[in-house]
Amino acid sequence: MNLAIDIGNTAVKWATFEGRQLAEHGHGLPADMLGRADDILACASGESQLSGFNVPVLTSDMPLPIRLDYKTPSTLGADRIADACGAAALHPGEPCLVVDAGTCITVDFVAADGVFHGGAIMPGLKMNLQALHTFTAKLPLIDIEGVTKTPVLGRSTEESILAGTLGATLLALAGFVALFKEKAPGLRVVLTGGDAGHLMASGTGGWEHVPMLTMIGLNEIMIHNDK
């Protein structure tokens, strides 16, 4: 059994795999889980703590099932590496654009030959909403939880903030998708991350939502290193 652990900004999540088959997943980490696993790999992309446990953590120096074509691999986030490995495993031989909508939103391109070419980092939805509230005198802090549809034309201050934040993010992502579709026909767009649901609800037709993408990638890396 392989145990994948995602240490994010707000929570520690885990998943177990039998081969490539997802077995269990959850939040936190059961005390007996480490002892049950044959192989363990963690992705430490945030500030949450895994207190009392010493587990191997993914770095760019580890043998990977993809090749990194990146100027500064030592600064490349472990979550971006894991997501790219997961997308390449789900769609072998196909170009993929990987969108991870978390605290920040990352957009990364993995070519059909399994080479990671880098991408873009932009503020996440909650970060944008917090910035509007923090750096202005009168704009309220909007809670995005429960928002199921983006207003195209805001008819109140709250709606206008949502239209600007979600709308601008979706338009930016659509622009990246259009750009890379020109470079890589047959491009797959794979979406993951805590805020992926908000983007899906607001209009991302044709994108594939894979909530467990980071875990799938970590498992692929463990499989690759067991060969």
- The catalytically annotated residue of 6, 79, 100, 195 is 79
Question: CA-to-CA distance for 114 and 120, rounded, in angstroms?
Answer: 18
Helices 157-183 and 196-203, axial angle in degrees (round to 10): 90
List b or e across 175-206, with b for residues whose CB sees 16 or more CB atoms inside 10 angstroms.
Answer: ebbeebeeebeebbbbbbbbbbebbeebebee
Annotation says 79 is catalytic:
yes
Strands 96-101 and 104-110: antiparallel
Residue 93's closest CA among 113, 115, 69, 79? 113
Cβ partners under 8 Å of residue 219, min gap 6 = 2, 4, 15, 17, 20, 41
Which residues are marked as active site?
79
